[in-house]
């Protein structure tokens, strides 16, 4: 008689069920998304510092000898112009201060104050930066129309336009609600970095501030370099950098 049949390894009774993939941890995914969003925001903020550096360099070197975002420096220049009876320098520095203040007021109205439940990149930030971009476009048009050689009156108009633009940027960035974050007035940022390093804090803790400071220096170097080798292209750096921030902020801000 034939012996009892052995069960096949492929029969349902002995088949080994496929291992199911471990379920993703929602909390871990959310934390990863949060870290990536913060990293993206930091990259955009550093890019805004590049814009500030380039704009200050162009204003100082080519448009009347005043800053467009460093108002402490402009106050000093205003005092020096008074002691030296330099009316043109006084108008440039004083006008830049007024334009910056007007821009800061507009930016504060557009961006508003931080509120509970804000996204990492709130939509009003994009609105404020879009208005800044419009002012930068106006400056660029004037620069190109004059062939990168604006006369005294046009130079002041372009300087004031850029100062107002960076005033908007300065107050708009405050909507993030991050203590000490700035893309324009960075003396306080530098002081904080030095204090924390001097008291034994690690570089990792202040790295985000160091990135912003480096962005400012790089922007100034690029802006000054373009004035020397290709003056007509100087506004392109500001427009590309700022325009990129506006576009990325508008597209990614909804998911941040």
CATH number at residue 108: 1.20.1250
CB neighbour list of residue 42: distance below 8 Å, 6 or more residues apart: 208, 211
User: DSSP character for 23?
Assistant: P
Whether residue 16 has pLDDT greater than 60: no
User: Average of pLDDT values for 89-115?
Assistant: 95
pLDDT at 13: 47
Distance CA(81)–CA(92), nearest Å, equals: 10
User: Average of pLDDT values for 52-62?
Assistant: 96
Residue 11 within a domain: no
| pLDDT band, residue 7 (cuts 50/70/90) | very low
Per-state percent for the chain, helix, strand, coil, to nearest 5: 75, 0, 25
Residue 72 φ then ψ, to 5°: -60, -45
Question: Is 146 within 8 Å of 154 (Cβ atoms)?
Answer: yes
Distance CA(183)–CA(212), nearest Å, equals: 7
Residue 107 within a domain: yes
Distance CA(236)–CA(234), nearest Å, equals: 5
Residue 254 within a domain: no
Least confident of 38-42, 97-101, 159-163, 236-240: 38-42
pLDDT at 252: 85
Distance CA(155)–CA(45), nearest Å, equals: 28
Residue 30 within a domain: no
**15 or 195: whose pLDDT is higher?**
195
User: Average of pLDDT values for 76-81?
Assistant: 94
Distance CA(118)–CA(114), nearest Å, equals: 7
Residue 234 within a domain: yes
Total count of domains within the chain: 1
Question: Is 93 within 8 Å of 155 (Cβ atoms)?
Answer: no
User: DSSP character for 64?
Assistant: S
In the chain, beta strands by DSSP E = none
pLDDT at 33: 80
| pLDDT band, residue 94 (cuts 50/70/90) | very high
| pLDDT band, residue 141 (cuts 50/70/90) | very high
Distance CA(40)–CA(34), nearest Å, equals: 10
User: Residue 116 corresponds to which tokens in the numbers above?
Assistant: 């509970």
Residue 193 within a domain: yes
Residue 23 within a domain: no
Residue 47 within a domain: yes
Q: Which domain holds residue 235?
A: 40-249
pLDDT at 204: 87
Question: Is 74 within 8 Å of 66 (Cβ atoms)?
Answer: yes
Whether residue 8 has pLDDT greater than 70: no
């Amino acid at each position: 008689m034939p012996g009892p049949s052995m069960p096949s390894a492929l029969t349902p009774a002995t088949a080994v069920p496929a291992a199911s993939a471990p379920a993703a941890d929602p909390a871990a995914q959310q934390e990863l998304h949060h870290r990536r969003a913060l990293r993206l925001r930091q990259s955009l903020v550093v890019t805004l510092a590049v814009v500030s550096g380039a704009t200050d360099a162009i204003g100082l070197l080519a448009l009347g000898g005043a800053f467009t975002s460093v108002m402490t420096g402009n106050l000093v220049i205003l005092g020096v112009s008074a002691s030296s009876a330099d009316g043109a320098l006084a108008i440039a520095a004083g006008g830049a201060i007024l334009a910056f203040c007007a821009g800061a007021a507009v930016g504060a109205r557009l961006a508003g104050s931080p509120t509970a439940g804000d996204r990492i990149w709130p939509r009003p930030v994009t609105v404020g930066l879009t208005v800044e971009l419009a002012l930068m476009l106006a400056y660029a048009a004037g620069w190109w129309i004059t062939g990168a050689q604006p006369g005294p009156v046009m130079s002041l108009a372009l300087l004031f336009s850029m100062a107002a633009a960076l005033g908007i940027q300065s107050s708009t960035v405050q909507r993030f609600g991050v203590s000490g974050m700035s893309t324009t007035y960075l003396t306080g940022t530098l002081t904080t970095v030095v204090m924390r390093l001097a008291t034994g804090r690690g570089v990792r803790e202040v790295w985000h501030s160091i990135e912003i400071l480096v962005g400012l220096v790089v922007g100034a170097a690029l802006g000054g370099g373009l004035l020397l080798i290709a003056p007509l292209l100087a506004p392109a750096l500001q427009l590309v950098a700022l325009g990129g921030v506006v576009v990325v902020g508008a597209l990614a801000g909804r998911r941040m």
